[in-house]
Amino acid sequence: MPSALILLADGTEEMEFTIAYDTLVRAGVACISAFVPADKNKDVDAQISPPFAKGSRGINIQPDVYFSHKSLAVDKFDAIVIPGGAKGAKTMSESSAVQSLIREFYESKKLVGMICAGSLAALSSKLPKQPLTSHPSVKSELEKDFEYREEPVVVSGNLVTSRGPGTAFPFALTLVEHLCGANKRDEVRGPMVFPPGMPF
């Protein structure tokens, strides 16, 4: 069974986190959510129960564990997902432990998903120059170091990036396809009953 580590912090965009997590679970992916504290140097025991994360719209989300680079090693997961939300994305992208783990996933050819302002982590983690997208609000911070695109979802090898809450479903379904195959993507998509003509 594939597995995914999904990060969140205070200020994470609720739709981007929830739609990714829910869609992956529907595909049979074992998901763990990990709370990244605002103190970027804090690395705690992942077994300690974390507080609620207050999302960008004030919705509380209960993470599964605290983020801990030691406990949440790259060999335990097939993918890492970084949601957006300006405040949450800033916390995650500025964490040296998160940066290190993202590089480990990327260099191990494991799936790295980033959406909205979460794509800033590609910059702070010093991923190689390649096609990438993000929320328009952070385009200026990324376009010098990456081949910036404006498609809803951009796939570059094992890096999948997307734009915002409105592209969260095609982003999540693309993650499913990469982890579980095109047939599983179709199987998950059908019962969601998207309106006819949706381009994903």
- Residues tagged active-site: 16, 116, 135
Q: Which residues pair with 154 in a beta bridge?
A: 161
CA max distance for the chain: 47
Report the 3 state secondary structure along 106-170.
Answer: HHCCCEEEEEHHHHHHHHHCCCCCCEECCCHHHHHHHCCCCEECCCCEEEECCEEEECCHHHHHH
Residue 144, number of CB atoms within 10 A of its CB: 9
How far is the CA of 179 from the CAs of 7, 67, 155, 163, in angstroms?
18, 22, 13, 20
Q: What are phi and psi of 193, to 5 degrees?
A: 55, 55
What is the separation of C-alpha 94 from the centre of its chain, rounded to a whole number of angstroms? 15
CA neighbor of 16 nearest in space, from 184, 195, 166: 166
CA neighbor of 160 nearest in space, from 110, 125, 90, 199: 110
Residue whose tokens read 């207050």: 54
